[in-house]
Chains A and B, each alone.
Chain A
Amino acid sequence: MVFEYAPAPESTKVVNLKTNYELFIDGKFVKSKNGSTYKTINPATEEVLAEIIEASSEDIDYAVNSARKAFKSWSKLSGAERGKYIYRIARLIQERSRELAVLESMNNGKPIRESRDIDIPLVAAHFFHYAGWADKLDYAGLGKNPQPLGVAGQIIPWNFPLLMLAWKIAPALAAGNTVVLKPAETTPLTALLFAEICQQAELPDGVVNIVTGAGETGRFLVEHPEIDKVAFTGSTEVGRLIAQAVAGTDKKVTLELGGKAANIVFDDAAMDQAVEGVINGIFFNQGHVCCAGSRLLLQESISDEFLNLLYERMKTLRMGDPLDKNTDIGAINSAAQLAKIHALTQAGKSEGAEMWSAPCEIPNKGFWFAPTVFTNVSLSHRIAREEIFGPVLSVLTFRTPDEAIEKANNTPFGLSAGIWTEKGSRILEVAHRLRAGVIWANTFNKFDPTSPFGGYKESGYGREGGRQGLEAYLKAGK
């Protein structure tokens, strides 16, 4: 091979891993009252990174009570003062961005290029944006003097560990709430590093509490009677359980759940950018993205041409060491997720779809899945309906705009969608008729703290980001 890239690994020296981590409650790292522990690993190597506590209901009780206690003073603090704490956090994240990016890639498996260039900068931006809201709540859309909800119980997924933390904590704090946040079972480390950042920012004790654990810990949190708000990002399946669990209570809920987004490419699309958008739509973060463009809807007249370009482009994707700066596709986050991807792709094959995978070398250790495309897919196939949450694209074709819209909307989900065409009026009409919360036209997988994000239908309810995201943590004043 000519000009073969030499390994360019990012150094892990910047990260100071402890052998075991405690819970962060009331401003301090504390031992669990009676919880067990588990090991968190690097999914690219299967090497153990640290021992983590699986918080018990007593631990959750302690954390929620600390948050409740802190709420009294935090909510009374002037918005301007609260804002200054949040600004501090934003700055500390920028200062420690390298460390956070490396740790994120180690624990999650995502390429350092993404954690460094996308995740962590967006985390800082999110805190920065909401810091400025703290003293402007009168303009949040709920009239004068809106009030915080109280204690927010927040549960986040493993695909964007620190970014999802930011989406949850930043608006909650700005609005005057205090939080108990549970990071995902497999990716607790950056949240625990964030706890240190809260200490460095001298955030008052109990305003942010980080409790680690798995589903059971999350359930304790959701069901805790002293929680006023539940914010969850994760699967639709768990979202449903949460919606049931909070039924009959006064708890407010926002849910960011699954998706099966259509990425619609019309015959007049800017072809190379559309190919790139489809790549970015489904292979960004190994496809571990709720809004991933997992269904490619191709206008039939260009499908061969487009797919050829797509395959050629996919051959250049570089899968491997997440810490290598030239890696495009990192590791699948866990053995369980890998098994799920295998199960669904197997279903795709047995249902008669044609599978093609990019020729990537699979490392010996760790969890990997090469970027994959299914053609000959029909809407009734499982791979066209269920969220795979991996680097797997299902290709469908359409003949007319109406048919494209009909197929795009033919799903219980409604999180996002993509439109590729150079015709302005078509973009606006298709965007208008798609039943999805985020429409990317001639781009895909873009995120910004000022831009509301969230789904229709079974993709959940409530919005995160922007003014709308702030409203989710406020109620009207008396």
Chain B
Amino acid sequence: MLKDDPLVLPSFLRDTTNSDSALKKFLNGLSGVDKVGVEERVAKLGTRSIKTTAKAEGIDLAIRMIDLTTLEGMDTKGKVKSLCAKARRPDPLDSTVPSVAAVCVYSDLVAVAKENLQGTNINVAAVATGFPAGRVSLAAKLQDTADAVSQGADEIDMVIDRGAFHEGRFLDIYDQIQSVKRACQAAHLKVILETGELKTYDNVKKASWIAMLAGADFIKTSTGKVQPAATLPVTLVMLQAIRDFEIATHRRIGVKPAGGIKTTKDAMKYLVLIKETLGENWMNPNMFRFGASSLLNDLLMQRRKMKNGAYSGPDYVTVD
């Protein structure tokens, strides 16, 4: 069955990955994206007013969709440990607050995260493949991935080769993603496009297709290390590519905007975008994630405000 094996494409799409020129031709044949139009659409959706019950529901949904992330050179076991505690129980004062979807760490800290999340449904995601630049050999990328998987990573966040993209070596990117996908074994693969380095919406659309064709389970905007990171219009372009891919293959690909999403208001705008573009099938943590760290605290403060009627402050949520 097609649906069950992400690496098998319907024949008309399989042919597009037979050669570099076939893939290039296919990607160049995708309809273009008009910058002004896509930004206008996003601005219009940005005026959606999310109040009361919708907001309460949206906040909890957003919390459940978070990949709580720490990706710093100075990350320590202690840091990951306390992050895991927060992932399990984001608000120590309120047990009705749901857990987040996953904790996202560098691959060498997967075991620590795994250990601290035992007995929960929270996944451990590892960034791999020479994150964030990805400028290492394929062998190193595969080794990086294998390490993370062997330590128990449930999800792998890989970066694509943007240099190859700008050189027009689309099939190389495709092949790399496929290789990494194999190395993932049972782990889910999120493919980071690093849209801030792709620069145009047309490129974002092409890169989305390469990733989806190659077997990505999720496509993800950014590493968080490049500005701009996630933006609403970039995400919209990716959502529409996902919709087109579903029409063509009946396969649903997840999406993860990451980087720069800091406020509840931001999160609500992403939820609106999902709801009005892909619909309910994507309104859950299996299909949508926020790659974020500080977002969680703002969601918690807003949640308290809704519950208690008074604004909360940073001193009342944990800094981890």
Closest to A315 in B: B279
Q: Please encode chain A, from 1 to 34, with 1 for each CB lying within 8 Å of some chain B CB and 0 for all others.
A: 1111111100000000000000000000000000
Given contacts A271-B31, A325-B49, is CB(A2)–CB(B37) below 8 Å?
no
- Of residues A2, A3, A8, which shows the largest number of chain B Cβ atoms within 10 Å of its Cβ? A3
- Report yes or no: A2 in contact with B41, Cβ–Cβ below 8 A: no
- Report yes or no: A272 in contact with B33, Cβ–Cβ below 8 A: yes
- Asked whether B115 is an interface residue with its Cβ less than 8 Å from the other chain, the reply is no
Given contacts A3-B57, A6-B53, is CB(A117)–CB(B38) below 8 Å?
no
Q: How distant is B271 from chain A, measured CB to nearest CB, in Å?
A: 6
Distance, CA A5 to CA B31, complexed state (A): 32
Distance, CA A326 to CA B271, complexed state (A): 14
Distance, CA A268 to CA B29, complexed state (A): 9
Interface residues on A, range: 20 to 34
Closest to A317 in B: B276
- Asked whether A273 is an interface residue with its Cβ less than 8 Å from the other chain, the reply is yes
- Report yes or no: B283 in contact with A3, Cβ–Cβ below 8 A: yes
Given contacts A270-B31, A273-B33, A422-B32, is CB(A2)–CB(B280) below 8 Å?
yes
- Asked whether A98 is an interface residue with its Cβ less than 8 Å from the other chain, the reply is no
- Report yes or no: B37 in contact with A326, Cβ–Cβ below 8 A: no
- Collect the chain B residues with CB atoms within 8 Å of residue A117's CB: 47
- Report yes or no: A5 in contact with B48, Cβ–Cβ below 8 A: yes
- Asked whether A316 is an interface residue with its Cβ less than 8 Å from the other chain, the reply is yes
- Of residues B32, B33, B280, which shows the largest number of chain A Cβ atoms within 10 Å of its Cβ? B32
Distance, CA A442 to CA B34, complexed state (A): 8
Q: How distant is A101 from chain B, measured CB to nearest CB, in Å?
A: 13
Given contacts A3-B61, A6-B54, is CB(A270)–CB(B34) below 8 Å?
yes
- Asked whether B152 is an interface residue with its Cβ less than 8 Å from the other chain, the reply is no
- Asked whether A157 is an interface residue with its Cβ less than 8 Å from the other chain, the reply is no
- Asked whether B188 is an interface residue with its Cβ less than 8 Å from the other chain, the reply is no
Residues of A172-226 whose CB lies within 8 A of B: none
- Report yes or no: A273 in contact with B41, Cβ–Cβ below 8 A: yes
- Report yes or no: B31 in contact with A268, Cβ–Cβ below 8 A: yes
Given contacts A2-B61, A3-B57, A3-B271, is CB(A8)–CB(B32) below 8 Å?
no
Closest to B44 in A: A113
- Asked whether B3 is an interface residue with its Cβ less than 8 Å from the other chain, the reply is no
- Asked whether A443 is an interface residue with its Cβ less than 8 Å from the other chain, the reply is yes
Q: How distant is B306 from chain A, measured CB to nearest CB, in Å?
A: 12
- Collect the chain B residues with CB atoms within 8 Å of residue A50's CB: none
- Asked whether A300 is an interface residue with its Cβ less than 8 Å from the other chain, the reply is no
- Collect the chain B residues with CB atoms within 8 Å of residue A276's CB: 37, 40-41
Q: Please encode chain B, from 240 to 256, with 1 for each CB lying within 8 Å of some chain A CB and 0 for all others.
A: 10000001000000000
- Collect the chain B residues with CB atoms within 8 Å of residue A238's CB: none
**Main DSSP-derived SS at the A contact region:** loop
Residues of A320-378 whose CB lies within 8 A of B: 325-326
Given contacts A2-B61, A3-B58, A422-B32, is CB(A8)–CB(B51) below 8 Å?
yes
- Asked whether B96 is an interface residue with its Cβ less than 8 Å from the other chain, the reply is no
Closest to B55 in A: A6
- Asked whether A431 is an interface residue with its Cβ less than 8 Å from the other chain, the reply is no
Q: Please encode chain B, from 2 to 33, with 1 for each CB lying within 8 Å of some chain A CB and 0 for all others.
A: 00000000000000000000000000000111
Instruction: Identify B240's interface contact among A272, A316, A422, CB under 8 A.
Output: A272
Distance, CA A316 to CA B57, complexed state (A): 19
- Report yes or no: B51 in contact with A272, Cβ–Cβ below 8 A: no
- Asked whether A43 is an interface residue with its Cβ less than 8 Å from the other chain, the reply is no
- Report yes or no: B33 in contact with A270, Cβ–Cβ below 8 A: yes
- Asked whether B319 is an interface residue with its Cβ less than 8 Å from the other chain, the reply is no
- Report yes or no: B54 in contact with A2, Cβ–Cβ below 8 A: no
- Asked whether A269 is an interface residue with its Cβ less than 8 Å from the other chain, the reply is yes
Q: How distant is B48 from chain A, measured CB to nearest CB, in Å?
A: 5
Distance, CA A158 to CA B158, complexed state (A): 56
Instruction: Tally B residues with Cβ within 8 Å of A.
Output: 30
Q: How distant is A270 from chain B, measured CB to nearest CB, in Å?
A: 4
- Asked whether B36 is an interface residue with its Cβ less than 8 Å from the other chain, the reply is yes
Closest to B61 in A: A3
- Asked whether A390 is an interface residue with its Cβ less than 8 Å from the other chain, the reply is no
Q: How distant is A30 from chain B, measured CB to nearest CB, in Å?
A: 40
- Report yes or no: B283 in contact with A326, Cβ–Cβ below 8 A: no
- Report yes or no: B37 in contact with A5, Cβ–Cβ below 8 A: no
Given contacts A3-B54, A3-B58, A422-B32, is CB(A273)–CB(B38) below 8 Å?
yes
Distance, CA A1 to CA B40, complexed state (A): 27
Distance, CA A1 to CA B61, complexed state (A): 13
- Report yes or no: A8 in contact with B49, Cβ–Cβ below 8 A: yes
- Asked whether B186 is an interface residue with its Cβ less than 8 Å from the other chain, the reply is no
Closest to B56 in A: A6
- Asked whether B199 is an interface residue with its Cβ less than 8 Å from the other chain, the reply is no
- Collect the chain A residues with CB atoms within 8 Å of residue B275's CB: 2-3
- Collect the chain A residues with CB atoms within 8 Å of residue B61's CB: 2-3
- Collect the chain B residues with CB atoms within 8 Å of residue A234's CB: none
- Collect the chain B residues with CB atoms within 8 Å of residue A272's CB: 31, 33, 37-38, 41, 240
Distance, CA A239 to CA B240, complexed state (A): 44
- Asked whether B52 is an interface residue with its Cβ less than 8 Å from the other chain, the reply is yes
- Report yes or no: B280 in contact with A5, Cβ–Cβ below 8 A: no
- Asked whether B226 is an interface residue with its Cβ less than 8 Å from the other chain, the reply is no
Residues of B220-250 whose CB lies within 8 A of A: 240, 247
Chain B residues at the A interface, C-beta cutoff of 8 Å: 31-34, 36-38, 40-41, 44, 47-55, 57-58, 61, 240, 247, 271, 275-276, 280, 283-284
Q: List 8 A-B contacts (CB under 8 A).
A: A1-B280, A2-B284, A3-B54, A8-B49, A113-B44, A270-B32, A272-B240, A443-B36
* Given A270-B32, A277-B37, A442-B37, 8 more pairs with CB closer than 8 A: A2-B284, A4-B53, A6-B55, A117-B47, A268-B31, A272-B41, A276-B41, A316-B276
* 9 residue pairs, one from A and one from B, having the closest CB atoms: A273-B37, A8-B49, A325-B49, A271-B31, A273-B34, A270-B34, A2-B283, A6-B54, A270-B32
